[in-house]
Amino acid sequence: MTTDVRKLDLNLVVVLDALLIERNLTRAGERIGMTQPAVSGSLTKLRELFDDPLLEREGRGFALTARAESLIPTVAECMAEVQRTFDVLPEFDPATSTRAFLVAATDYVLSEITSPLIRLLEREAPNTRVAFTGLSVEGDEVSAVDLLRNDVTIAGAGQGVPGKRASLFSDTFVCIVAAGHPALEDGRLSLSALRSLRHVRSVIGMHAATHIDDMLAAAGFLPPVAATVQGFLPVPFAVAGTEWVGWVPERTAHRYADALGLVVAETPISPSVLVEAAHWHPSKNDDAALQWLVRKLRAASEAVEFGDDGL
């Protein structure tokens, strides 16, 4: 029976190649920029796909099964073809290049960085193109295949994103409520009020948690959820006109507060800092165009942090 490649998770090929080379889950993860639990989960899928354990305990280490040994040349050839595809990169001159870039990020990041980045590209690389796409998260991680597919993936630093990274800009999460909310006392919400009020919860992808979940868990509670939304930008609109509570980056709060009748409430919770970073696959380190794009993203981030003078 022939496998339908359209239904195949190509990330499994990357993981399989690393496992066949390293014969160790931790080292395989380090090789391709994935955590050990993520590699273990992929190995489970591979075992089901091939109906074979692939790796078996041998003393203190692992050994390949006969089936796994037989896969080595085929998988190596497949990976070599992929590598040759990505190695065919022209010399990069921003003034004349027609390169098309793909940047993946959350709605919040795109709302902040798109305008200054486009102004930079129009000035320094007028013939290039950039496409923006939403951040794709499988489970709690961005996959290695998505890092290969995108030129740059922008996500919160320290959130388990594999690959190389460069920090861009930061923000602080704040609590927003409708102006005149009955639980406000001198502009402040007590911990007991936060525990009982229904919250608008943000997720990335299908179910991936955000820094906000970690922040509230560190404060010792998970509040009742009134609604769940994708990303941060829908939160102010969901909170407006209700007695619900939401948490968003401070820049988002100030952008929509007046128009939606919201205020930033002081709380006893230690605010979490969100550090956005540009991530890329290690195989792209020698791509001059990508490294140039990362520099432009950092320049655009300075406009986000300190104002857009000069852009």
Q: What is the pLDDT of residues 235-249, one digit of tens each?
A: 999 999 999 999 999
Residue 1 pLDDT level (bands cut at 50, 70, 90): very low
Which of these, 249, 198, 200, 191, lies nearest to 220 by C-alpha position? 191
Residue 148 pLDDT level (bands cut at 50, 70, 90): confident
**Residue range 112-135: average pLDDT?**
93
Tell whether the model's pLDDT for residue 51 goes beyond 80: yes
Residue 32 pLDDT level (bands cut at 50, 70, 90): confident
Of residues 194 and 142, the one with the higher pLDDT is 194
Tell whether the model's pLDDT for residue 4 goes beyond 70: no
| Digit-coded pLDDT (tens) for 256-277 | 999 999 999 999 999 889 999 9
pLDDT given for residue 156 in this prediction: 82
The Cα–Cα gap between 166 and 276 comes to 9
Residue 203 pLDDT level (bands cut at 50, 70, 90): confident
Structural domains for the chain: 5-87 (1.10.10.10), 100-169+275-306 (3.40.190.10), 170-273 (3.40.190.10)
